[in-house]
Amino acid sequence: MPIYDYRGVDDGTIYEVEHPMAIKISTLGELSPYLKQNINDKNKNQKVIKLMSAPASVGVASSAPPVVSPCGSGGCSGGACPM
């Protein structure tokens, strides 16, 4: 499940939560079921803003250089290419 960061508009508190992508959240009350902490009832109407975050990288990066054909485009003609 994706992890999102939200910031409370009134107090600037940052909340990190996991929830399905289809969920749209605009208040702290809507965010509260996904929080690992309890929130004050008076703050449930506080607006929250979803923050942009860097996407998680998937897979393993390789340090090996890419394999390139000696012909460049691979469209050798005339027999000059050893491949």
6 contacts 47 by C-beta, under 8 angstroms: no
CA atoms of 12 and 10, how far apart (whole Å): 6
Q: Which sequence spans correspond to the domains of the chain?
A: 3-50
pTM: 0.61
pLDDT of residue 33: 92
- What is the tally of helices (H) and strands (E) in the chain? 1, 3
What would the pLDDT profile of 16-72 be if each residue is shown by its tens digit? Answer: 999 999 999 999 999 999 998 888 888 899 999 999 876 665 555 556 666 655 565
Tokens of 75: 């469209």
3-state secondary structure of 27: strand
